[in-house]
Structure 1
């Protein structure tokens, strides 16, 4: 009688959460590797970092050290801002957060128009009207929610309630605009234009 062939069991994949990342570790091409990806609700599934080890647990431990080093490095690159204790996120952090959050088309259009105005800013009433927001306050509330979500993405720790300051610069201490003209944080402008381009859509 012929020998009974047995299918090899697929290598076990170990999964672990760390902050805003999902880590997956296992055997890949005879090497044990751990890889970190943004975890849901992020819709942008990209490789953030990877590390190797003798075991899955060892690789995960090395990867966590790498992630913490990346976090510290990004924090050190942030611009100081008195209204933001954690500093202004870098352009890369803003871009990663926008990819992860995938804001709706209406908010993205407003952000794009706002970013195209660069450092000069726009009259918020004009931006709200063009973006089909009922009032300036509706637009500012949408910015506030977006800023809070961005902060949750770039900071694992619980941060202060500075959502609007994360999106716009020159905000008063009470969270209000000093006048009717507002500009996005320069790093956010750069991130939006990198993702959406520097041309105003014709439609």
Structure 2
């Protein structure tokens, strides 16, 4: 068998070192810098913006901590600032359209939010276990409604007054999140916040407190969110 010449061995050695040098260059190359995501807020939403897929994008999400997930709105722009400004316009237009589309409750005069709004609010606000229990019981009762005594028992309250205050507080949380002015109501006997959740029927006897019934929008939203 012919032995390789010294010149061929030298050439092979150079080739080996050349390949090693090329591999070393790849290893030493610095990683690409990570994309910077700016985080801000607009109203009740968290805004995230940055460079994505060849353009500046701004997106709105529920503010943490929230059980709700998913993107609320999106906008693009020639610059990051333009994308953020465009997103603000989208959110403002969305809120104005929602407010305009709310039905007026004949008993209280309040603008009742849509099912979509209630679903979003329930996913964002923090309701206590008793509040959730009362809303669930009212939802299951449907159009028949519940007396104050049964609502209190559903949440483990010994006092009907305590249950009413807690239910009204739940309504205020939702009203604040959805920017509903509960002072617009006409029924002065209904605690603030409770009117946004439902209404009372007339008592069967004179002087008797009627049953409480959830607005259909609230009931549908609870079935979807809880």
Please tell me the TM-score bracket, short chain as reference: 0.7 to 0.9
Whether contact under 8 Å (1:43, 1:102) holds in the other structure is no
Please report the TM-score for the alignment, with normalisation by the length of structure 2: 0.75
Separation in 2, partners of 1:25, 1:96: 22
Greater per-residue helix proportion: 2
4+ aligned runs moved over 6 Å, structure 1? none
Within the candidate set 30, 39, 45, 1:21 is matched to: 45
Greater per-residue strand proportion: 1
Within the candidate set 124, 128, 132, 1:108 is matched to: 132
Unaligned runs of 5+ in 1: 197-203
Whether contact under 8 Å (1:14, 1:24) holds in the other structure is yes
Separation in 2, partners of 1:165, 1:178: 19
Unaligned runs of 5+ in 2: 1-20, 184-191
Give the CA deviation at 1:7: 2.1
Aligned to 1:37: 61
The structure number with the bigger radius of gyration is 2
Give 3-state SS (helix, strand or coil) of 2:157's partner. coil
Whether contact under 8 Å (1:53, 1:59) holds in the other structure is yes
- What is the aligned-residue RMSD (CA, Å)? 2.4
Indicate yes or no: 2:211 matched with 1:188. no
- How many aligned residue pairs are there? 189
Per-residue displacement from partner, 1:139-163 (whole Å, max 9, x unpaired)? 11111111111011111x8x34531
Give the CA deviation at 1:22: 1.0
Please report the TM-score for the alignment, with normalisation by the length of structure 1: 0.82
The residue correspondences of 1:52-131 to structure 2 (distance < 5 A) are 52-81=76-105, 83-85=108-110, 87-131=111-155
The residue correspondences of 1:115-194 to structure 2 (distance < 5 A) are 115-155=139-179, 159-160=181-182, 162-170=192-200, 179-194=209-224
- Kindly indicate whether structure 1 or structure 2 has the higher relative contact order, using CA contacts under 8 Å at least 6 residues apart: 1
